[in-house]
Amino acid sequence: DVKVTQSSRYLVKRTGEKVFLECVQDMDHENMFWYRQDPGLGLRLIYFSYDVKMKEKGDIPEGYSVSREKKERFSLILESASTNQTSMYLCASSFTRVGEKLFFGSGTQLSVL
Amino acid sequence: DAKTTQPPSMDCAEGRAANLPCNHSTISGNEYVYWYRQIHSQGPQYIIHGLKNNETNEMASLIITEDRKSSTLILPHATLRDTAVYYCIVRRTGNQFYFGTGTSLTVIP
C-alpha cells in the first residue's frame, strides 16, 4: 500500500516562529502537494512539486514556502507563523501519468497561538 | 480550468442507495473525474474515478453523463460508516487537482 506520512499529527506553535511540516511518500511519485483545509472552504492548494527542486504556486501560496531536495520528501515552511495559518495541513502525492490518483497523508492540525 | 459544483449536504437512510451529484460543466476532453471522501479529521480517501464510461468498484459506482458535464457517485447500500464529506474532483492542467467544498453526507439509522 502507498504510504504518505506526515511527521506530526498535532502541532502548536507561537506567532512569529518558523514552522516546518514534513511529508514523505514511499511510492516514487513525481508529484507532491500541500493543501490546507478550513471549515467551509474545502481543500485549497498551497504549493505543489512535479520533480525534485521544482515547485509551483497553488491558489494560496502567500506566507508559505516549500522545499523538495529528495523525490520522496516535500516540506512546507511557514517562515513566520501567524494566527491565520492555524489550519489542517494535508500532504498528497501522485504519479504524473493521466488518470493517476492522489494519495493523502492523515494531516497535521497546526495551531498558532 | 474545470471546477465542480456539489450540494453542500444530503441525508440518506441506512441500507438505501446514496446518490451524490456533481456538476463539472467546463471539464475538458481528457480530464478525469475523481471522487474522494473524508471522515472527520482524516486525510481524504480515494473512492473511484473515470473519464467517459461508467465505472464500478467494491466501494461505489460512478455514472458520467454522455456530455461529461455531470456525474453521480452511487453508494449502493449506505451504512453509518459512509457518513463523511464527499468531494468530486477534476484534474486541472499541470497535474493539479481541484477540490470544491464537497457534500456532507449523513446516513441516518
- Tell me the pLDDT tens digit for each residue of A81-101: 999 999 999 999 998 877 788
Per-residue pLDDT tens over the stretch A61-72: 999 999 999 999
Which is nearest to B43 in space by CA: A48, A32, A37? A37
- In this structure, what C-alpha cell is assigned to residue A109? 492540525
What is the model's pLDDT at position B95? 67
Q: Which residues contact A75 (CB under 8 A, 6 or more apart)?
A: A20, A21, A22, A23, A66, A67, A68
CA-nearest of A112, A82, A79, A103 to A24 is A103
Cβ of residue B28 closer than 8 Å to a chain A Cβ: no
- B-chain CB neighbours of A58 within 8 Å are 96
Mean pLDDT value of segment A20-30: 95
Q: What is the mean pLDDT of residues B102-106?
A: 95
* Interval B21-41: pLDDT, tens: 999 988 887 888 999 999 987
In this complex, is the C-beta atom of B53 within 8 Å of any C-beta atom belonging to chain A?
A: no
- Interface contact flag, B87 A42, Cβ < 8 Å: yes
Q: Could you tell me which residues are beta bridge partners of residue B73?
A: B20, B62
Amino acid at B108: I
The predicted pLDDT at position A41 comes to 85
Kind of pairing between the strands at B103-108 and B9-13: parallel
Phi-psi region of B95 (alpha: psi -120 to 50; beta: other; left: phi over 0): left
Query: A32 with A102: CB under 8 angstroms?
Result: no
Whether A94 sits inside 8 A of B45 (CB atoms) is no
Q: Is the pLDDT of residue B2 over 60?
A: no
Nearest CA in chain A to B99: A43
Convert the pLDDT of each residue in A31-61 to its tens digit.
999 999 998 888 899 999 999 999 999 989 9
Read off the amino acid at residue A81.
Answer: A
Over the stretch B43-102, which tens digit does the pLDDT of each residue have? 999 999 999 889 999 999 999 999 999 999 999 999 999 999 999 998 766 667 878 789
- Count chain A–chain B contacts defined by CB atoms under 8 A: 58
